[in-house]
A and B are shown apart, each in its own frame.
Chain A
Amino acid sequence: MTGARTFLKKEFREIGKTYKIYVIPIIFLVLGLTSPLIAKIAPDLVKSLAGSGSGVVIQLPLPTAVDAYLQLFKNFNQIGILVVLISSIGLVVEEKSRGTAVLILTKPVPRWAFIISKYIASAVLIVGSTLLSYFACLYYCGILFDETLFKPSFQGLILLLVYYLLVLAIALLASTIGSTSVVSGGLAIGGVLLLSLLPSLHQWFARYSPGALSGMETKLAAGSIVFSDAVPALIVTAVLAVLLVATAVVVFQRQEL
């Protein structure tokens, strides 16, 4: 177990010593701070773009905190997922191609510990950054809109975090399977695209597949569904994430380095 614990510690130190510790939290923080701001000024922006002399009267509803969260979750599901993917594609494949895995795994570090440590450390970084971003948004909403909508938005956030854990598991598996970063990247992006396309294929997927979560996050925040509606898809997502991490372990156990 000493080997496993030491390697986990190394994973955390690696995050702390490389670009990851700055870049990822900062990107997420920016998403959290800009979302309420964009929601606030969007109507004015539309008006000024439409022009004042055209004589068209545009009637836009006043922006609320709901709009801020809609914007936040949209960012999380686009830029956020991209950041999660890019930051985790190299996890295993880089250690294989640089030869560092060889030096570690010919010492008493079990292969399962190698994979699990990477998952844990990356998950902590991603979840931490997302929470930071969310609370920044919440705080800003309080200032700009005089309401935070804590409960529905936090429930939406839980869906998002579980979805991120699945995306991370996909990236980890792709990184384990691939022999180069390009192959791993292709596999991971393909996997995530598939997830997001499934809900439009069949109504069963629209209710229970992981891809359904992104739609549910905003509906939760807007109050049009309740948390229990999202629980089945949430469980499917969590189980899938666990299965993919386990698959990565099995694949890695059999791999020759």
Chain B
Amino acid sequence: MFAVETRKLSKHFGNKAAVDGLSLRVPKGSVFGFLGPNGAGKTTTLRMLVGLARPTSGDAFVLGESVLAAGKRYLRRIGFLPDVPGFYNWMRPAEFLMLAGEIFGMSGRELRMRVGEVLEITGLKGVKARIGGFSRGMKQRLGLAQALLNRPEVIFLDEPTSALDPIGRKEILDTISQLSGRTTVFFSTHILNDVERVCDIVAIINHGRLLTQQSISSLRKSYSSHKIYLELEGEPDISAKIEGQPWIDRIEKSDKGWFIHPADLQAAQQALPRMIADHGLVLRRFELVEPSLEDIFVRLVNYR
């Protein structure tokens, strides 16, 4: 059984398909990166998974229970951090967490200790001010705290690091990494760096449709080739010379050098140094560059 599974899940707003026949499978214990550009349908998918919106067609299962079923017993076993979490302004952070905990049936010492724990984890320990005066980042931290409170089996996070500073982002990503194994993390984002740091599996969607779902390493293998970074002394323009070669796909100017996307990597590795020597140029850097997730993302979203 999968922790989360969607089967041809669709959501239409009028005649616009926000989510379009999406089929995903999220294994238990994995950190699942749900990637897509703005408006791809990430938030809409999450809203259907946590029971806030009804699918137009298709079905989805969380911990084996259909989101279409009445009752939604699985809500006890999940956590959810919306993209912009909203709190009662008159409450203080610990107060909101106590409320959340009581809803889950926790109480007394057990609840107080757990509230202390999640406040510590999210860096809000000792914050006694009313939530009304919180910054966006602090609200996001508190949102994560309330999502962690019931030790969920599946935690849904909608762009959890979007409002955080770099240090906060690192802390939260570390927290998410530590959940790996015990908790299934369903993590929507368009920050590719975050995905590379913590996710095991990624799904990339655009216009509500799945482009690909696989592990990051296999995604790298199958979707992007290496490129070569070349930097020469004096930074002469060599693009015309290289563009005519049989092993070249395209060449791209960067700050001080060139990114060469070869059609045949090995041929390029052999031919390039020779060409440079023949033209009497002086090599400063010659480097094989690993494909980044960003390259893959841009390629998939633009060319499919």
* Chains A and B form a bound pair: yes
Interface residue ranges, A against B (CB under 8 Å):
2-3, 6-7, 9-10, 14, 17-18, 98-100, 102-109, 256-257
Q: Which of A7, A17, A100, A108 contacts B104 (CB 8 A)?
A: A108
Asked whether B85 lies within 8 Å of A99 as measured between CB atoms, the reply is yes
Asked whether B90 lies within 8 Å of A257 as measured between CB atoms, the reply is no
Asked whether B85 lies within 8 Å of A103 as measured between CB atoms, the reply is yes
Let me know if B99 is at the binding interface, CB within 8 A. yes
| 3 closest A-B pairs by CB | A99-B86, A6-B102, A98-B86
Task: Given contacts A100-B86, A100-B88, list 10 more A-B pairs with CB under 8 A.
Answer: A2-B103, A6-B99, A17-B91, A99-B85, A103-B82, A104-B103, A105-B51, A106-B75, A106-B80, A109-B103
Interface of B is mostly: loop
Return chain B residues, CB-CB under 8 Å to A2: 102-105
Q: Which of A14, A99, A108, A257 contacts B103 (CB 8 A)?
A: A108
A interface footprint on B37-81 (CB within 8 Å = 1, 0 otherwise): 000000000010011111000000000000000000101101010
Cα–Cα distance between A102 and B80 once the two chains are bound (Å): 9
Cα–Cα distance between A256 and B76 once the two chains are bound (Å): 20
Cα–Cα distance between A14 and B99 once the two chains are bound (Å): 12
Return chain A residues, CB-CB under 8 Å to B78: 106
Interface residue ranges, B against A (CB under 8 Å):
47, 50-54, 73, 75-76, 78, 80, 82, 84-88, 90-91, 99-100, 102-105, 143, 146
Interface of A is mostly: helix
Q: Which of B80, B82, B90, B103 contacts A6 (CB 8 A)?
A: B103
Return chain A residues, CB-CB under 8 Å to B82: 99, 102-103
Contact (A3, B87) CB under 8 Å given A107-B75, A108-B75:
no
Cα–Cα distance between A98 and B134 once the two chains are bound (Å): 14
CB distance from A176 to the nearest CB of B (A): 16
Cα–Cα distance between A100 and B52 once the two chains are bound (Å): 13
Asked whether B100 lies within 8 Å of A100 as measured between CB atoms, the reply is no
CB distance from A148 to the nearest CB of B (A): 39
Cα–Cα distance between A87 and B50 once the two chains are bound (Å): 31
Cα–Cα distance between A117 and B22 once the two chains are bound (Å): 37
Contact (A100, B87) CB under 8 Å given A2-B105, A109-B103:
yes
A-B contact list, 15 entries, CB within 8 Å:
A6-B102, A7-B103, A99-B86, A102-B52, A102-B82, A102-B86, A103-B85, A103-B143, A103-B146, A106-B75, A106-B78, A106-B80, A107-B75, A107-B104, A257-B47
Cα–Cα distance between A47 and B50 once the two chains are bound (Å): 69
Return chain B residues, CB-CB under 8 Å to A104: 103
Return chain B residues, CB-CB under 8 Å to A109: 103
Return chain A residues, CB-CB under 8 Å to B47: 256-257
Return chain B residues, CB-CB under 8 Å to A3: 103
Asked whether A256 lies within 8 Å of B54 as measured between CB atoms, the reply is yes
Cα–Cα distance between A108 and B50 once the two chains are bound (Å): 11
Asked whether A17 lies within 8 Å of B103 as measured between CB atoms, the reply is no
Cα–Cα distance between A14 and B91 once the two chains are bound (Å): 9
The listed residue with most A CB atoms (<10 A of its CB), out of B52, B84, B103, is B103
Nearest-neighbor residue (CB-CB) of A19 within chain B: B90
Nearest-neighbor residue (CB-CB) of B53 within chain A: A256
Nearest-neighbor residue (CB-CB) of A98 within chain B: B86
Cα–Cα distance between A100 and B100 once the two chains are bound (Å): 12
Nearest-neighbor residue (CB-CB) of B73 within chain A: A108
CB distance from B99 to the nearest CB of A (A): 6
Return chain A residues, CB-CB under 8 Å to B75: 106-108
Asked whether B86 lies within 8 Å of A108 as measured between CB atoms, the reply is no
Contact (A105, B85) CB under 8 Å given A2-B103, A3-B103:
no
Cα–Cα distance between A60 and B108 once the two chains are bound (Å): 67
CB distance from B76 to the nearest CB of A (A): 5
Asked whether A105 lies within 8 Å of B52 as measured between CB atoms, the reply is yes
Cα–Cα distance between A181 and B97 once the two chains are bound (Å): 27
Asked whether A103 lies within 8 Å of B86 as measured between CB atoms, the reply is yes
CB distance from B147 to the nearest CB of A (A): 9
Cα–Cα distance between A174 and B133 once the two chains are bound (Å): 30
Cα–Cα distance between A118 and B53 once the two chains are bound (Å): 22
Nearest-neighbor residue (CB-CB) of B81 within chain A: A103
Q: Which of A17, A102, A105 contacts B90 (CB 8 A)?
A: A17
Return chain B residues, CB-CB under 8 Å to A105: 51-52
Cα–Cα distance between A126 and B47 once the two chains are bound (Å): 36
Asked whether A107 lies within 8 Å of B103 as measured between CB atoms, the reply is yes
Cα–Cα distance between A99 and B82 once the two chains are bound (Å): 9
Asked whether A256 lies within 8 Å of B84 as measured between CB atoms, the reply is no
Return chain B residues, CB-CB under 8 Å to A257: 47, 52-53
Return chain B residues, CB-CB under 8 Å to A100: 86-88
CB distance from B138 to the nearest CB of A (A): 15
Return chain A residues, CB-CB under 8 Å to B102: 2, 6, 9
Return chain A residues, CB-CB under 8 Å to B73: 108
